[in-house]
């Protein structure tokens, strides 16, 4: 009881510091298929990094509500563009956290942000439709989505966040659009079924352990836009047999291809 009260107080304090008006006893409004909505009235809503008043899909920052409601959501989820006349512009942190019975999610064009942990361990989800208007996919968004097979990333993102696809053990292919400049640590960690990845000519940084444990990855081409490959970026890629470097890369970290037993030869460009 004490912990629950403290959690509610912390949530209320968080919103007050942001200049938001929130009733700590407010219950989520129920839409179709059990999806919950919160209205946040603010000129500059810092919660999801969007500069307009809008509805948040899911349970917002009410972490205690997730354990009560989240696991009841199942099947295919279609998020509407508008709810009660207002645009749905963000899927908040923990919105569908651990909803193992979701199978497919359709995200509308109005959504620009999918925040951290939004679809964390939705292990039954086998596909998701993402609009190009999305400009931010947070950390751990698809962590542990073990049935997810193919993803086309939105054109609007420039960073593939930390742990974004970690432990997506059925993921076979990801389309990375031009405009992506960095792949953050552990982004594709232990994606053991990932067979190929085409890096765009805009990529500049691949950080530590980004593709560590991608055991079925066979070939990789590093484009000339690349500036730095950090430590262990392709470690434990046991099927990797061919790597092509374009001239331009400046920094190659330690243990980049550690335990890549099928990789026999690499030509390091003079730019290093």
Of the ranges 6-15, 121-130, 134-143, which one carries the lowest mean pLDDT score?
6-15
In DSSP terms, 102 is beta-bridged to 75
Confidence band for 142, pLDDT divided at 50, 70 and 90: very high
pLDDT at res. 257: 95
pLDDT at res. 82: 73
> Does the structure show a pLDDT above 50 at 130?
yes
What are the pLDDT digits (tens) for 15-43? Answer: 333 333 333 333 444 444 455 554 443 32
Of the ranges 10-19, 129-138, 169-178, which one carries the lowest mean pLDDT score?
10-19
> Does the structure show a pLDDT above 60 at 2?
no
Average pLDDT of the segment spanning 106-134: 91
Average pLDDT of the segment spanning 60-72: 38
> Does the structure show a pLDDT above 90 at 192?
yes
pLDDT over 70 for what percent of the chain? 72
Mean pLDDT of the chain: 77
DSSP code at position 189: T
pLDDT at res. 13: 33
pLDDT at res. 156: 94
> Does the structure show a pLDDT above 90 at 242?
yes
H, E, C per residue of 41-58: CCCCECCCCECCCEEEEC
> Does the structure show a pLDDT above 50 at 199?
yes
pLDDT at res. 83: 65
> Does the structure show a pLDDT above 70 at 66?
no
Would you say 61 and 53 are in contact if contact means Cβ atoms under 8 Å apart?
no
> Does the structure show a pLDDT above 90 at 80?
no
Confidence band for 67, pLDDT divided at 50, 70 and 90: very low
Average pLDDT of the segment spanning 123-132: 95
pLDDT at res. 36: 53
Task: Count the residues in the chain.
Answer: 272
pLDDT at res. 94: 80
**136-137 and 113-114 as β-strands: parallel, antiparallel, unpaired?**
parallel
Q: For residues 33-58, b (16+ Cβ closer than 10 Å) or e, as one string? A: ebbbbbbbebeebebbebeeebbbbb
């Amino acid at each position: 009881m004490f912990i629950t009260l403290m959690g509610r107080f912390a949530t209320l304090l968080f919103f007050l510091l942001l200049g938001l008006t929130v009733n700590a006893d407010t219950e989520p409004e129920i839409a179709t298929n059990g999806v919950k909505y919160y209205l946040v009235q603010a000129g500059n809503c810092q919660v999801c990094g969007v500069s307009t008043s809008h509805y948040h899909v899911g349970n917002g920052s009410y972490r205690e509500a997730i354990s009560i409601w989240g696991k009841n959501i199942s099947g295919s989820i279609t998020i509407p563009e508008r709810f009660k006349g207002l645009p749905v512009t963000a899927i908040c942190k923990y919105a569908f956290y651990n909803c193992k019975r979701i199978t497919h999610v359709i995200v509308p064009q109005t959504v620009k942000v999918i925040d951290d942990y939004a679809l964390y361990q939705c292990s039954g989800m086998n596909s998701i439709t993402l609009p190009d208007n999305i400009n931010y996919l947070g950390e751990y968004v698809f962590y542990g989505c073990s049935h997810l097979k193919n993803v086309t990333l939105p054109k609007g993102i420039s960073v593939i966040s930390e742990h974004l696809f970690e432990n997506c053990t059925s993921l076979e292919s990801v389309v990375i659009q031009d405009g992506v400049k960095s792949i953050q640590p552990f982004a594709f960690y232990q994606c053991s079924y990932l067979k190929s990845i085409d890096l765009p000519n805009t990529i500049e940084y691949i950080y530590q352990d980004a593709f560590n444990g991608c055991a079925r990855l066979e070939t990789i081409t590093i484009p000339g836009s690349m500036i730095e490959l950090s430590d262990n970026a392709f470690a434990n890629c046991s099927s990797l047999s061919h790597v092509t470097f374009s001239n331009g890369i400046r920094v190659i970290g330690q243990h980049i291809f550690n335990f890549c037993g099928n990789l026999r030869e690499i030509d390091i460009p003079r730019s290093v």
